[in-house]
Every structure is written in structure tokens, then in C-alpha cells.
């Protein structure tokens, strides 16, 4: 047996040159690589055991568009505005241009929120930065959004002409900013869910309210009409202004500007989305940083 004292190697540590812990750049590139892998896992896993596979990511929004068109356009007679440059006048496309980004917001918020709880087994066994599964979920849904947008672009190009293709680069900042916006919310909620499990049910409700508060199945002009009607009745309520504070309005409106109006997203919308994204991310990072240390043991 070797002779070893009760504190093995004592005294050697201070003198020995200490190899730096994983370099910051190294660990960052690893995190990014892992983020990529987990995102791929989400994307590949999504429709893995289904016969139709990825087709489901087209069928789902198409079905929703179909249903909403039937209810809101055919039965309730909501008329969409005419697309400014495209000349399109179709409720289904007016709806689709906003519904796809909304679906992304909705799924990313709900999915990202569940990412910590859902990956509990993994988080309790392996160390990696805890934000990775949350962001990976959001990113995988952003990829789904891109696929869906591709189909929509194809349809509007057929209906309204190929000029929409010119404005497609406008979608890039929109998708990026929207992703940042939902990431912040998802980070916050993912931690909250660990501590309060009924966040999930609460959010399911809230998202439904949010959906109808956002001009998706109806044009914002209807809100202006209501405001006018109230003003006529002597009640001055700045309904339209209030409505426009909603970040989801900014986002869906900007997507409509590109995909329905065939134009660049307006600076107002871009700026609004950017501000919301920054605020959301700031909140997400702060909350996550504060609470993520003990999250694993609370899972």
C-alpha cells in the first residue's frame, strides 16, 4: 500500500499550475453544438412514429385555417381588407399569414415552458447549461414555422403573383425577433412551471384569451370600428391604441405586411417587436439566472 495521509495530495495543489477550466469559448461552442443536437432531436422526434410524418405540420395549420375560415368568414361574415400590393382578397390567406406566426408563439411558449419539466430525467443526470432544452424547443418550432411559411408563400405566390418573393427577406428579421421574444417568455415560464405546476393550465387559458385579443381571425379595422361606436355613444376608449400594445399584434401584423400585402414590414412594427423581444429576453435571462440553480432539485 502506498502511504497516504488523511488529506491526499495536500500541499501540491497550490504549487501545481492549474489548468484553466474549460475555456469560455470552448464551452460556448459546446453549448451551441448541444443546442443544435437537441433541436434536431426535437425536430426528428416530432412526427417520428406517424405515417404522415412532417406532413402533419402542414395539415394542422391548413385544417385550422379551414375551420376558422368556415366559422369567421362564411358564417360570421368577417371581411378581410384587400392586400395592398397583392390585391388578394381571401380570408383564408389573410388568416394564414397571421395564424402561422401565432401558432409559433403559442407552441413555443407552451413547449418551451414544459422543456425543463419534460427533460427532468436528463437534467438530473447530466450537466449542461439549463437553458439549452428550453431554447432547443423554441428553435425546433421556429424550424417548423419556416416549413409552414414555405407552403403559405407558395400559395400566396400562386394567388397574388410571384412578387411576394421579393419581400421574403423581410421575414428573416421577423422570425428572428419573434424567436427571441418567445424565448424570453419560455425561459421565464419554464422556471415558474417547476415551482408552480398549475402555471401550465393557467397559461393554456391565457393563451386562448391572448389569441382572441390579437387581431388574427379579425382585422384590426373592426377594433377601430368598435372604438368609433363607443365614441359615438359618448365613451372615449382608445381601443385601437390599446390593441396595438399587444406584441402579438405587432408580430402578426408584420407577417401580414409581407405575406398578404406583399410589402416590407413597417419600421413601426419592427421597432415595436424589437423592443418587446429585448424586454422579454431581459426578463427571461434575469429570472432564469436567479432561479435555475436550484431548479434541478425541485423537479
Partner 1 sequence: MSVLDLMGSRRPASGHTAVEVENVSKSFRVYAERNQSLKAAVLRRKRGSFEEFWALRDVSLQIPEGRTFGLMGHNGSGKSTLLKCIARILEPNSGSIRTRGSVAAMLELGSGFHPDLTGRENIYLNGSILGMSRKEIDRKLDEIIDFAGVGEFIDQPVKNYSSGMYVRLGFSVSIHVDPDILLVDEILAVGDMQFQERCREKFAQFKDDGKTVVVVSHGVEEMRTFCDEAAWLDHGKLVEVGPAAAIVDRYIEAGHNARAVETGGTRHGSGEILVERVELLDAAGTDERTFRTGDELTIRLHYRAEKPVDRPVFAVSVNSIEGVHVWSHHTWDAEYIPAQLRGSGSVDVRIPALRLQPGTFDLNTSVVDDELSHSFDQWVKAVRFAVVPGSPRESGGLVVMGSTWGNLQPPSPLAISGASAQAAEAREDADLASRASGTP
Q: Which positions touch partner 1 (CB under 8 A)?
A: 1-2, 4-10, 12-13, 16, 18-19, 21-22, 29-30, 33-34, 36-38, 40-41, 44-45, 48-49, 121-128, 195-199, 202, 293-294, 296-298
The CA distances from residue 299 to 38, 124, 192, 267, 294, in Å, are: 20, 8, 11, 43, 9
Closest contact distance (angstroms) between CB of 112 and partner 1 is 18
Nearest approach, Cβ of residue 119 and partner 1 (Å): 8
Least separation in angstroms between residue 55's CB and partner 1 is 17
Nearest to partner 1 of 132, 174 (CB atom): 132
- Residue 62: which residues within 8 A CB-CB, separation 6 or more? 151
Q: Report in angstroms how near the CB of residue 257 gets to partner 1 at its nearest.
A: 38
Instruction: Tell me how far the alpha carbon of residue 19 is from its chain's centroid.
Output: 41
CB of 30 to partner 1, least distance (A): 6
Cβ closer to partner 1: 12 or 232?
12
- Output 29 or 208, the one with its CB closest to partner 1: 29
- Nearer to partner 1 by Cβ, of 147 and 202: the residue is 202
Distance CA 190, CA 63 (A): 29
CA atoms within 13 A on the CB side of 233: 8
Q: Which residue, 5 or 236, is less far from partner 1 as judged by CB?
A: 5
How would you classify residue 161: left for phi > 0, otherwise alpha for psi between -120 and 50, otherwise beta?
A: left
Contact yes or no for 205/190 (Cβ under 8 A): no
Least separation, in Å, of the C-beta of 19 and partner 1? 5
> Smallest distance from the beta carbon of 183 to partner 1, in angstroms?
20
- Cα separation, 265 vs 295, in Å, equals 39
Smaller CB separation from partner 1, 13 or 51:
13
Whether the CB-CB separation of 127 and 295 falls below 8 Å is answered with no
Residue 224 cell numbers, joined: 377601430
* CA distances from residue 204 to 44, 198, 208, 281 in whole angstroms, order as listed: 25, 10, 7, 21
Q: Is 232 helix (H, G, I), strand (E, B) or coil?
A: helix
Q: Which is nearer to partner 1, 19 or 75 (CB)?
A: 19
Amino acid at each position: 500500500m502506498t502511504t497516504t495521509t488523511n488529506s491526499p495530495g495536500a500541499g501540491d495543489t497550490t504549487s501545481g499550475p492549474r489548468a484553466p477550466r474549460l475555456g469560455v469559448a470552448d464551452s460556448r461552442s459546446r453549448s451551441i453544438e448541444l443546442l443544435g443536437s437537441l433541436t434536431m432531436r426535437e425536430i426528428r422526434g416530432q412526427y417520428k412514429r406517424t405515417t404522415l410524418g412532417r406532413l402533419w405540420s402542414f395539415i394542422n395549420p391548413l385544417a385550422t385555417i379551414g375551420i376558422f375560415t368556415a366559422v369567421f368568414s362564411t358564417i360570421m361574415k368577417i371581411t378581410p381588407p384587400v392586400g395592398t400590393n397583392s390585391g388578394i382578397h381571401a380570408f383564408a390567406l389573410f388568416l394564414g399569414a397571421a395564424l402561422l406566426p401565432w401558432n409559433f408563439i403559442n407552441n413555443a411558449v407552451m413547449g418551451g415552458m414544459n422543456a425543463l419539466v419534460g427533460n427532468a430525467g436528463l437534467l438530473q443526470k447530466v450537466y449542461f447549461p439549463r437553458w439549452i432544452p428550453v431554447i432547443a424547443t423554441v428553435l425546433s418550432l421556429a424550424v417548423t414555422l419556416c416549413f409552414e411559411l414555405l407552403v403559405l408563400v407558395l400559395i400566396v405566390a400562386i394567388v397574388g403573383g410571384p412578387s411576394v418573393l421579393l419581400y421574403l427577406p423581410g421575414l428573416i428579421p421577423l422570425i428572428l425577433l419573434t424567436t427571441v421574444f418567445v424565448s424570453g417568455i419560455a425561459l421565464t415560464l419554464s422556471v415558474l412551471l417547476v415551482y408552480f405546476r398549475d402555471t401550465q393550465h393557467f397559461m393554456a387559458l391565457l393563451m386562448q384569451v391572448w389569441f382572441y385579443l390579437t387581431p388574427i381571425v379579425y382585422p384590426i379595422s373592426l377594433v377601430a370600428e368598435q372604438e368609433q361606436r363607443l365614441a359615438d355613444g359618448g365613451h372615449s376608449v382608445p381601443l385601437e391604441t390599446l390593441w396595438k400594445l399587444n406584441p402579438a399584434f405587432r408580430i402578426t401584423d408584420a407577417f401580414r405586411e409581407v405575406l398578404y400585402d406583399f410589402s416590407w414590414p413597417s419600421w413601426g412594427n419592427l421597432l415595436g417587436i424589437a423592443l418587446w423581444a429585448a424586454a422579454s429576453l431581459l426578463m427571461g435571462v434575469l429570472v432564469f439566472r436567479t432561479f435555475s440553480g436550484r431548479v434541478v432539485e425541485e423537479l
